């Protein structure tokens, strides 16, 4: 199955780091169905990679392996030699760097691992680029790279970087490293940008300490939902919106039609508090969740939103799905899979709806 949405992507060689993660799995499915040859590198998938493991049990998805359109290497991004060898062996035209330790709370538990993965692992990738002749590279960071101050208007790409927790600061450091390597080592043929996305949601995310899977699990098991910051506001968006932003940016870079840092988030009025989001999930699920507030938690910003004006003006990108559509499709995905439908087919239906409706 191919979408034939853009001839540009047909037969392109694309490498994805972190392909077994939540966003990586969705991006892999997206690019394969655009006709790409995809190579993924990530840690060996374990029982926490629920979505990826489900894909590996799907006959339609496995056809990409059999046709040699998708290959995967179990590699720790912190292993410089293995990263370099895997990239040079494939010689990609485009790279999406998603491999990361992506959780704020986990970064308080394992700060050193977080920095080793998010900073040193990313530098290993940047060093590997020095051996390629031509490549368009997207380094995925986060909306949390900005100096940690709560305010009612969105952060812009030229605002000051920061980050009080180990996760946010590690991603800000990645931004600085990327800029340094770009200016120090890369010419016009190696174009590297950073993409800063907000809190993505969508079917198949079962990661711990994330509001969507926590809420869905509480509804399925009929257990209380424990909330740490019910009044915190975040720029929620469906996973397909930032992925489409990354894809658009990677294509523009081939002809150097862009600058180097971009926010990909929802429209400002689509931000909701955690409590409001949970209530909306319950509405679409058909059952009101029971909420339990827990205190004494690590510090997080109460209000966070980002400006997407630059992506709109320079890339002609804007989010396709508003928040109600995003949550409706996300809840529907979990309900359909919970009833026995194929996770892969549910992803493909979402992508087709996103592209063509």
List, for residues 43-68, the tens digit of each pLDDT value.
988 877 789 999 999 999 999 999 99
What is the full DSSP assignment across 309-348? HHHHHHH----SS-HHHHHHHHHHHHHHHHTT--HHHHHH
pLDDT of 298 strictly over 80: no
The reported pTM is 0.93
Mean pLDDT, residues 136-140 taken together: 97
**Tokens in use for 240?**
């397909």
Name the burial class of residue 14, with classes exposed (0-12), middle (13-18) and buried (19+) by CB atoms within 10 angstroms of its CB: buried
How far apart, in Å, do the first and last CA atoms of the chain sit? 18
Residue 267 tokens, joined: 């429209």
Domain ranges for the chain? 7-201+238-268+305-325
Helix 80-90 vs helix 121-129: angle between axes, to the nearest 10 degrees?
40
CA distance 313 to 307: 12
Q: Is residue 1 pLDDT above 60, yes or no?
A: no
Q: What's the average model confidence in pLDDT over 234-262?
A: 90
Mean per-residue pLDDT of the chain? 91
User: What pLDDT score does 65 carry?
Assistant: 95
- pLDDT tier, 108 (very low <50, low <70, confident <90, very high otherwise): very high
pLDDT of amino acid 269: 67
| Residue-level pLDDT at 238 | 95
Q: What percent of the chain has pLDDT over 70?
A: 94
Phi and psi at residue 227, in whole multiples of 5°?
A: -110, 135
Q: Tokens representing 9?
A: 């992507």
Question: Taking 70 as the threshold, does the pLDDT of residue 94 lie above it?
Answer: yes
pLDDT value, residue 305:
82
Model confidence pLDDT, tens digit, residues 172-216: 999 999 999 999 999 889 999 999 997 899 999 887 778 888 999
Q: What pLDDT, on a 0 to 100 scale, did the predictor assign at position 154?
A: 85
Is pLDDT above 60 for 13? yes
Using DSSP's 3-state secondary structure scheme, residue 47 falls into coil
pLDDT at residue 296 is higher than 70 = no
Residue-wise pLDDT for 140-184, tens only, equals: 999 999 987 666 678 999 999 998 899 999 999 999 999 999 999
Give me the architecture of the 7-201+238-268+305-325 domain, per CATH: 3-Layer(aba) Sandwich (3.40)
């Amino acid at each position: 199955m191919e979408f034939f949405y853009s001839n540009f992507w047909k037969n392109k060689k694309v490498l994805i780091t972190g392909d077994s993660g939540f966003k990586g799995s969705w991006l892999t499915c997206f690019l394969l169905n655009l006709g790409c040859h995809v190579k993924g590198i990530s840690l060996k998938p374990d029982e926490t990679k629920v979505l990826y493991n489900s894909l590996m049990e799907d006959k339609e998805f496995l056809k990409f392996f059999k046709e040699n359109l998708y290959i995967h290497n179990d590699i720790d991004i912190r292993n410089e030699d293995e990263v370099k060898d895997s990239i040079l062996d494939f010689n990609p035209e485009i790279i999406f760097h998603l491999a990361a330790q992506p959780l704020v709370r986990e970064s308080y538990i394992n700060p050193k691992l977080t920095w080793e993965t998010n900073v040193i692992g990313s530098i290993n990738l940047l060093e590997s680029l020095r051996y390629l002749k031509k490549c368009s590279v997207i380094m995925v960071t986060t909306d949390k790279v900005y100096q940690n101050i709560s305010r009612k208007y969105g952060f812009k790409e030229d605002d000051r970087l920061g980050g009080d927790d180990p996760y946010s600061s590690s991603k800000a450091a990645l931004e600085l490293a990327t800029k340094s390597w770009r200016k120090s080592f890369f010419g016009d043929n190696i174009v590297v940008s950073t993409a800063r996305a907000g809190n993505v949601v969508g079917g198949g995310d079962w990661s711990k300490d994330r509001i969507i899977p926590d809420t869905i699990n509480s509804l399925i098991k009929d257990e209380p939902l424990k909330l740490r910051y019910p009044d915190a506001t975040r720029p929620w968006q469906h996973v397909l919106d930032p992925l489409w932003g990354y894809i658009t940016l990677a294509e523009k870079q081939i002809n150097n039609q862009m600058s180097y840092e971009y926010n990909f988030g929802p429209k400002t009025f689509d931000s909701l508090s955690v409590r409001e989001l949970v209530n909306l999930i319950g509405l679409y699920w058909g059952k009101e969740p029971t909420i339990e507030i827990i205190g004494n938690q690590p510090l997080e910003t109460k209000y966070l939103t980002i400006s997407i004006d630059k992506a709109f003006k320079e890339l002609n990108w804007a989010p396709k799905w508003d928040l109600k559509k995003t949550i409706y499709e996300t809840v529907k995905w979990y309900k359909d899979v919970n009833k026995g439908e194929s996770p892969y087919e549910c992803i493909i239906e979402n992508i087709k709806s996103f592209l063509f409706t």
